[in-house]
Amino acid sequence: MDELRKGFHNDLDEARAELVRLAASVTEAIPRATAVLLDGDLEGADYMIQGDDEIDARSLDLEERCYRILALQAPVASDLRQVVALLKMIADVERSADLVCNICKAARRIYGHDLDPKLRGIISRMGEQAQQLYTAAIESFVENDAAKAAAIDDMDSYLDDLQKQFVQAIFESHAAGRIDLQVAVQLAVVARFYERIGDHAVNVGERVRFVITGWLPEHHGAQRYRLRADDTGEMPRIGTVQDGDGTP
Amino acid sequence: MTFRRRRIPVVPESERDEARQQIARLQAEILRLRRALDALPIGVVLADRSGETLVENVAARTYHGHAAVLVNEAVERHLRRAINGVASGHNVEFIGPPRTVLAVQATPLEDGGALVTVDDVSERARLDAIRTDFVANISHELKTPVGALAVLAEALAEIDDPAATRRLADKMVGEAHRAARTIDDLLELSRTELGGAAAKDVVSVAQVVDDAVERARAAAEQHTIIVTVDNGPGDLHVIGSHRQLVSAVANLLENAVKYSDTGSSVLVESRRDNGCVEIVVTDTGVGIPARDIDRIFERFYRVDRARSRDTGGTGLGLSIVRHVATNHGGEVTVHSREGEGSVFTMRLPAGES
Q: Which residues of B touch A126 (CB under 8 A)?
A: none
**Closest approach of chain B CAs to the CA of A137, in angstroms?**
11
The answer as to whether B132 is a domain residue is yes
Q: Has residue B195 got a pLDDT over 70?
A: no
Do residue B57 and residue B168 come from a single domain? Answer: no
Nearest to A20 among B67, B69, B96 (CB): B69
- Domain end, chosen from B99, B120, B141, is at B120
DSSP for B243-294 reads HHHHHHHHHHHHHHHHTS-TT-EEEEEEEEETTEEEEEEE--SS---GGGTT
Q: Which residues of B touch A121 (CB under 8 A)?
A: 287, 337-340
Pick the CATH number of A3-217 from 1.20.950.20, 1.20.58.220, 3.40.605.10, 3.40.250.10: 1.20.58.220
Strand B276-282 relative to strand B265-273, pairing: antiparallel
pLDDT tens digits, residue range B17-37? 889 999 999 999 999 999 999
What span, in angstroms and rounded, lies between the C-alpha atoms of B205 and B256?
Answer: 19
Closest alpha carbon within chain A to B100: A28
Q: Which residues of B touch A122 (CB under 8 A)?
A: 339
Walk across the sheet containing B265-273 and list its strands. B226-230, B265-273, B276-282, B341-349, B331-337
CB B91 within 8 A of CB B82: no
pLDDT at A43: 92
Q: Which residues of A touch B94 (CB under 8 A)?
A: 28
The Cα-based distances of A104 to A136, A198, B234 in angstroms read 24, 17, 53
User: Residue B106: pLDDT band by 50, 70, 90 thresholds?
Assistant: very high
Q: Is A45 in the B-facing interface, judged by CB distances under 8 Å? A: no
Region B46-67: mean pLDDT is 88
The answer as to whether B24 is a domain residue is no
Do residue B174 and residue B194 come from a single domain? Answer: yes
The answer as to whether B71 is a domain residue is yes
Q: Which residues of A touch B66 (CB under 8 A)?
A: 23-25, 27-28, 134-135, 138
Pairs across A and B, CB distance < 8 A: 60
What span, in angstroms and rounded, lies between the C-alpha atoms of A44 and B323?
Answer: 34
φ/ψ of residue B51, rounded to 5:
90, 0
**Closest approach of chain B CAs to the CA of A193, in angstroms?**
20
Burial state string for A182-211 with b = 16 or more CB within 10 A and e = fewer than 16 = ebbebbeebbebbbbbbbbbbbbbbbbbbb
Q: CA B236, B239, B244 angle in degrees (round to 5)? A: 100
Do residue B158 and residue B275 come from a single domain? Answer: yes
User: Could you tell me the residue ranges of all domains in chain A?
Assistant: 3-217
Beta carbons within 10 angstroms of residue B246's beta carbon: 21
Do residue B51 and residue B192 come from a single domain? Answer: no
Do residue B261 and residue B161 come from a single domain? Answer: yes
- Asked if the Cβ–Cβ distance from A27 to B66 is below 8 Å, we say yes
Directed axis angle between helix B242-258 and helix B205-222, to 10°?
Answer: 30
pLDDT tens digits, residue range B73-95? 999 999 999 998 889 999 999 98
Beta carbons within 10 angstroms of residue B141's beta carbon: 21
Chain A, residues 80-139, CB within 8 A of chain B, namely: 116-122, 124-125, 134-135, 138-139
Do residue B243 and residue B101 come from a single domain? Answer: no
The answer as to whether B260 is a domain residue is yes
CB B75 within 8 A of CB B118: yes
CATH assignment of the domain containing B78: 3.30.450.20
**Closest approach of chain B CAs to the CA of A18, in angstroms?**
9
Burial class (CB in 10 A: 0-12, 13-18, 19+), B36: exposed
User: Residue A235: pLDDT band by 50, 70, 90 thresholds?
Assistant: low
Region B5-15: mean pLDDT is 79
Do residue B99 and residue B116 come from a single domain? Answer: yes
Q: Which residues of A touch B96 (CB under 8 A)?
A: 31
Closest alpha carbon within chain B to A127: B290
Output A170 or A9, whichever has higher pLDDT: A170
What span, in angstroms and rounded, lies between the C-alpha atoms of A39 and B170?
Answer: 38
Closest CA to A208 of A154, A143, A155, A156: A143
- Asked if the Cβ–Cβ distance from B95 to A124 is below 8 Å, we say no
In this prediction the ipTM stands at 0.78
**Closest approach of chain A CAs to the CA of B244, in angstroms?**
32
Region A188-210: mean pLDDT is 93
- Domain end, chosen from B56, B86, B120, is at B120
Do residue B197 and residue B251 come from a single domain? Answer: yes
The answer as to whether B7 is a domain residue is no
Q: Has residue B309 got a pLDDT over 60?
A: no
Q: Which residues of B touch A38 (CB under 8 A)?
A: 289-291
Walk across the sheet containing B100-108 and list its strands. B53-56, B43-47, B114-120, B100-108, B88-94
Region B110-126: mean pLDDT is 90
Nearest to B338 among A20, A21, A117 (CB): A117
- Asked if the Cβ–Cβ distance from B66 to A24 is below 8 Å, we say yes
User: Residue A198: pLDDT band by 50, 70, 90 thresholds?
Assistant: very high
pLDDT at A88: 93
Give residue B3's region: left, alpha or beta (phi > 0; psi -120 to 50): beta
What span, in angstroms and rounded, lies between the C-alpha atoms of B221 and B199?
Answer: 32
User: Residue A214: pLDDT band by 50, 70, 90 thresholds?
Assistant: confident
Helices (H), chain B: 13-39, 65-83, 122-157, 162-195, 205-222, 242-258, 308-311, 317-327
DSSP for B35-53 reads HHHHH-SSEEEEE-TT--E
What span, in angstroms and rounded, lies between the C-alpha atoms of B253 and B219?
Answer: 10
Q: Is A32 in the B-facing interface, judged by CB distances under 8 Å? A: yes
Do residue B114 and residue B132 come from a single domain? Answer: no
- Domain end, chosen from B90, B120, B150, is at B120
Range of the structural domain that residue B301 is part of: 126-349
The answer as to whether B3 is a domain residue is no
CB A197 within 8 A of CB A144: no
Count: domains in chain B: 2
**Closest approach of chain B CAs to the CA of A229, in angstroms?**
46
CATH assignment of the domain containing B226: 3.30.565.10
The answer as to whether B28 is a domain residue is no
Per-residue HEC secondary structure of A23-44 comes to HHHHHHHHHHHHHHHHHCCHHH
Do residue B252 and residue B141 come from a single domain? Answer: yes
Region A23-50: mean pLDDT is 93
Q: Has residue A136 got a pLDDT over 90?
A: yes
Do residue B105 and residue B130 come from a single domain? Answer: no
CB A36 within 8 A of CB A51: no
Do residue B181 and residue B319 come from a single domain? Answer: yes
Alpha-carbon torsion, ordered A30, A36, A42, A46, to 10 deg: -10
Beta carbons within 10 angstroms of residue B281's beta carbon: 28
- Cβ neighbours of residue B28 closer than 8 Å, sequence gap 6 or more: none
Q: Has residue B101 got a pLDDT over 80?
A: yes
CB B297 within 8 A of CB B315: no
